[in-house]
Chain A
Amino acid sequence: MRLEATELTDEELELQQKVRSWLRDRLPAGSYPLGLGMSGEIDPEFSRDLGAQGWLGMALPVEYGGHGRSAVERLIVVEEMLAIGAPVGFHWVGDRQSGPSIAKHGTEEQKREILPAIARGELSFAIGMSEPDSGSDLASLRTRAVREGDGWRVNGAKIWTSGAYEATHILALFRTSEEKHTGLTQFIVPRHTEGLTINKIPFIDGTRHFCEMHFDDMYLPDTARMGEVGGGWGQNTAELVLERGGVDRWMSIAPILENWVRSRAAVGDRAAEADLGAITARNWAFRGLSLSIARMVDEGKSPVTEAALVKEMATRFEQESVDTVARHFGRTPDLHSDDPYESLLARAILVSPSWSIRGGTNEILRSVAAKGLNKR
């Protein structure tokens, strides 16, 4: 399997500088709570300001309020935000995957209603796939949507839904018939639909963005359905490419690494310098992989295998990097430290095992990749 090297064009480099200087003004160091990559803080105001710059829904079609830009341009914007641990939590899922998915499979009405608001940073999406008895094996989903008049009656439960409580919408996958794969359909569920209750599940680091959802005779009009009845599985699979190949898979601790360098703690310590050098070299290599995958997406390809390969090794590398920084820290970092970088490192230690679970476990990704490789 070969990926093609690519470089940024002058226009792309210009965008990078623009984003960087805007972020410096909008988020001066110390003015915002630091986040670990995609699970950054939820700050709707920041998301709206970002939208006003034209940096949300970048790859969405212009006629739906998007900006018709490329996956590479989106990568450039995203990478600058992750580098400083920006509060991206409110818009992340909608911008990365729900928006593009709706643009592809949504009805005209859904696109007109939802996409412009995603691009303005006004909507927040959560992904309702996992259930208590269906994690890796999504084909065994049981939460059921049954036809009723012009709509659907939904019963069941979802779990591990990141950000559901604060979200304005949930893009959910429900069972609409008995067929394993072709019996699944996607629905756009407004957060405050009657019959939907959401509870928070305290996360290992004490945060409360992890949720479970219960659907008790929840009624959805058919206009909430996204795509064909029974088409949910395929749509979901395509969506995962957007979720797996990106820079967010290896930049979770970018602000911690940057602080390690900036604080000059490694200077003159040969062991620390060696670790720092090895991490930098690998980050450079991973960036090349993400960039090439983004170019492939722009060329209309669907690099499923490539994205799985990258996510699998990048998340392991992120975890190793946390260990490395922690080892050089010299003592156990304090979650409640006044130093925001120390508490961020402490959080990273706690949550890093989740990085190789969310978005598909490494075991599953290895299977996806192995199957893809064997087809070549």
Chain B
Amino acid sequence: MTTRADADLVSTVRDLFSQRCTHEVVTQAEQDGAAPEKLWREVAEMGLHLVGVDEEAGGSGGTILDALAILHAAGEFAAPLPIAETMLAAAVLADAGAEIPDGALAVVPPTADLTLSGDAVSGEAKHVPWARGAAVLVGIVDGKAFTAPVEVTRSGVDASGMPSDDVKINGTVVGDSSRDLLLDGALARSAQLAGAMEAIAELTREYTNERIQFGQPVGRFQAVAQHIVTLAQMATMSSLSVERAGLAALSGPAAFEIKALKQVSDRNATTAARAAHQAHGAIGMTQEYRLQQLTRRLYAWRGEFGLEKELAEDLGKTVAEHGSMHDVVVAGSEALS
């Protein structure tokens, strides 16, 4: 009765990432400031970066649930790849009826300061994830989809050490688009956040089962077990909510579900990161250990495509004006349309 992501696809993707995205690979990507070429080629050959976009439009097919499952897995294994960005950009181009170029793509954040005049788009954008290395930048301004060559004005990195550059934009409109990059991005980031939280919960559970202090695994101490429980709570709630928002998006407008999801995920990310580090003690703070690769991603992603506080204000305003919380909690966006 309920639609799900393609199970074979999910297990293939998880196998791939679990084998290829080792601690060393992620560390190396961070040092290089670039995606591992071989891995990206492999992902591109499988078409993973274009899942969720129709084949007729140049994508790999599959539903949004498939795309979210891939992003969830990418988050789980801290894949140092611009998959989310490419998926988002490709969806915009497909929607605008434009061609999707080969290679990685980057999206101009919907908060960027842009001017549209005729078919020309100009302006600047800060902190564009994975701009460097992208074939082209893709964005939307006033309902017009545009592409722009990559002109980096400052190379930077986000909290997880992945490329996040300031760019100058001299773009051209390629068609109309009704997509909402803020929502699409929030959904994508939430899937990555949930994946990372699942991995962090599991890593912490395993570690505290092995780490011996006072003659027994520290996980047996009730106070430490509480952190394990908190992590399972945050991860379970986030993953389930991603699926629910995905299902809502599949059947209609889902602005409420996606904003609620991102709001909840951002908050959960903070709680999860704290609990995981606390349970790990000093080792979790070191670069040699995997945990920080995951928690730093939580810090980076929670700050993109909608902030916890802004989303809360936005949702609250909507609910306050609608006049019923129960309606919205039960029926979601449908209650608001």
Contacts and interface: CB of A to CB of B under 8 A. Distances in A.
Interface in A266-312: 266-267, 270, 272-289, 292, 306, 309-310, 312
Interface residues of A, number: 52
Nearest to B239: A2
A288 B260 CA distance: 12
A277 B312 contact: yes
Contacts of B328: 280, 284
A370 B316 contact: no
B232 interface: yes
Nearest to B217: A374
Interface residues on B, range: 35 or more
A283 B321 CA distance: 18
Interface in B280-309: 308-309
Contacts of B332: 284
Interface stretch (B11-19, B85-93, B106-114, B218-226): B218-226
A309 B314 contact: no
Interface stretch (A4-12, A90-98, A196-204, A210-218): A4-12
A366 B222 contact: yes
Interface string A331-367: 0000000000000000000000000000000010011
A272 B316 CA distance: 8
A192 B90 CA distance: 72
A320 to B, nearest CB: 12
A4 B326 contact: no
B2 A83 contact: no
A140 to B, nearest CB: 19
Interface in A47-86: 79, 83
A22 B241 CA distance: 31
Nearest to B311: A277
Contact of B233 (A16, A278, A309): A309
Given A270-B313, A276-B319, A278-B312, A288 B240 contact: yes
Contact of B205 (A4, A285, A313, A374): A374
A369 B209 contact: no
Contact of B315 (A280, A287, A289, A313): A280
B229 A312 contact: yes
B326 A277 contact: no
B267 interface: yes
Nearest to B334: A13
A3 interface: yes
Nearest to B309: A274
Interface of B: 1-2, 4, 198, 205, 209, 219, 222, 225-226, 228-229, 232-233, 235-237, 239-241, 243-244, 246-247, 256-257, 259-261, 263-264, 267, 308-309, 311-326, 328-330, 332
Interface of A: 1-7, 9, 16, 79, 83, 254, 257-258, 260-262, 264, 266-267, 270, 272-289, 292, 306, 309-310, 312-313, 363, 366-367, 369-370, 373-374
27 contacts: A3-B239, A3-B240, A4-B243, A5-B2, A5-B240, A7-B247, A258-B324, A258-B325, A258-B326, A262-B323, A272-B320, A273-B313, A273-B316, A278-B316, A280-B325, A281-B259, A282-B264, A284-B257, A285-B241, A287-B329, A288-B240, A306-B236, A309-B232, A309-B233, A313-B237, A366-B229, A369-B229
